Amino acid sequence: MPAKGEKYFFISSLAKGLKIMEMLSEHKALTVSEVAKQMDSNRAASHRFLATLRELGYVEKNDDNRYQLTFRIMEMGMMVADRFEIRQEARKFMQDLVNTFNETVNLGFWDGNEILYLDKIDSSEVLRIDARLWSKTPAYCTALGKAVLAHLTKEEINDYLKHTRLVPHGPNTIVSKKRFREELAAILERGYSVDNEELVNGLRCVAAPVFDHTGQPRYALSISCPTFRLSMDDVESVHPKVRDICSQLSLHIGYRPDGAGNMSYKMPKERINK
């Protein structure tokens, strides 16, 4: 019988095996005892999980008798990545931004709760911001996430805030839901978002949404760099280009605004007022 609160189809052993793989991805390599401690399990059970994953080719033991993930995980990840055609479609637009500003450009995907970093092109500057590909960050304290959130319906925003606790990450993280709603309204009005040291101290980003062929804000592009290279005054000279590139990319992947002509970053009123 499933444990209380679990779905009837839930397989606990499978969930534990996947949890161990997630732990190994975070810690790079762990001993059996370390896995047992983090799983709050006994050593024998943890060893069986690791031995099974090793037999299947997902885990290997290094010279220090620590278990680590194999490249099979990367192979699976790349097969998943190949499904995101947006990465290929967005490259030339991202490169345009890099050529203009020589700062790191990120492509984010809205997964319904967080921002997944699908792709990036690094700045040639020695000191630059390095977001890990396929990593996730909270949407509420990133320019990428706020650019998308601002263009969701009121119901979608309400649902997001209902299930999200706004906790501090950087010195300027917005933790008041009332103030955060005001921030989203301002972003919707101006068409771009700014991460002003909300995720990380010393980081500033400028982003705009990218709409897919259904009109949904599924993606966003951002420029990220140290604050000393991008003041808040400098944002005024950066955001028009970011918005324009995101507009071009949206049209390129099939988005069609109401009527022929210019791209609009505001969703139709019937979506906003639902």
The string of pLDDT tens digits covering residues 212-235 is 999 999 999 999 999 999 999 999
- pLDDT of 258 > 80? The answer is no
Please give the mean pLDDT across all residues of the chain: 88
H-run or E-run covering 161: helix 154-162
Residues 72 and 40 in one domain: yes
Classified as helix, coil or strand, 148 is helix
Residues 57 and 146 reside in one and the same domain: no
Q: For the residues 43-55, what does the mean pLDDT come to?
A: 93
Report the number of distinct structural domains present in the chain: 2
- 31-38 average pLDDT score: 92
Output the domain CATH number for residue 145. Answer: 3.30.450.40
Instruction: Check residue 64 and give its pLDDT.
Output: 87
Give CA–CA dist 181/203, Å, rounded: 22
Instruction: Record the pTM.
Output: 0.71
At 70 the pLDDT is 87
Closest by Cα among 122, 117, 149, 119 to 136: 117
Instruction: Return the minimum-mean-pLDDT range out of 9-13, 88-92, 118-122.
Output: 9-13
User: Residue 6 domain-assigned?
Assistant: no
The verdict on 135 and 249 lying in the same domain is yes
Q: Does the pLDDT value for residue 140 go beyond 80?
A: yes
Q: What letter represents residue 198's amino acid?
A: E
Same domain, 65 and 116: no
- Report which of residues 71 and 149 the model is more confident about: 149
* Three-state secondary structure readout of 19-64: HHHHHHHHHCCECHHHHHHHHCCCHHHHHHHHHHHHHCCCEEECCC
Q: Would you say residue 96 lies in a domain?
A: yes
Residue where a domain terminates, one of 28, 55, 77: 77
**One domain, residues 185 and 105:** yes
Q: 250 and 218 in contact (C-beta within 8 Å)?
A: no
Tokens at residue 79, please? Answer: 């097969």
% pLDDT > 70, the chain = 88
Co-location of 245 and 132 in the same domain: yes
In this predicted structure, the answer to whether residue 262 has a pLDDT above a threshold of 60 is: no
Range of the domain at 44: 12-77
> Does one domain contain both 41 and 167?
no
Q: Is residue 266 part of a domain?
A: yes
Last residue of a domain, one of 77, 92, 121: 77
Q: Are residues 173 and 224 in the same domain?
A: yes
Residue 192 lies in a domain: yes
Residue 5 maps to a domain: no
At residue 42 the predicted structure's pLDDT band, cuts being 50, 70 and 90, is very high
Co-location of 111 and 198 in the same domain:
yes
The mean pLDDT value for 19-39 works out to 90
Q: Tell me, what's the pLDDT at 83?
A: 63
Domain-terminating residue out of 37, 56, 77: 77
If asked whether residues 150 and 179 sit together in one domain, one would say yes
Check whether residue 64 and residue 96 sit in a common domain. Answer: no
How much is the pLDDT for 269? 36
1 in a domain, yes or no?
no
Specify whether 62 is located in the same domain as 100: no
Closest CA to 191 of 241, 225, 142: 241
When mean pLDDT is compared over 118-127, 128-137, 247-256, the highest value belongs to 247-256
Q: Of 132, 131, 149, whose CA–CA distance to 140 is shortest? A: 149
Alpha carbons 153 and 156: distance in angstroms, whole number:
5
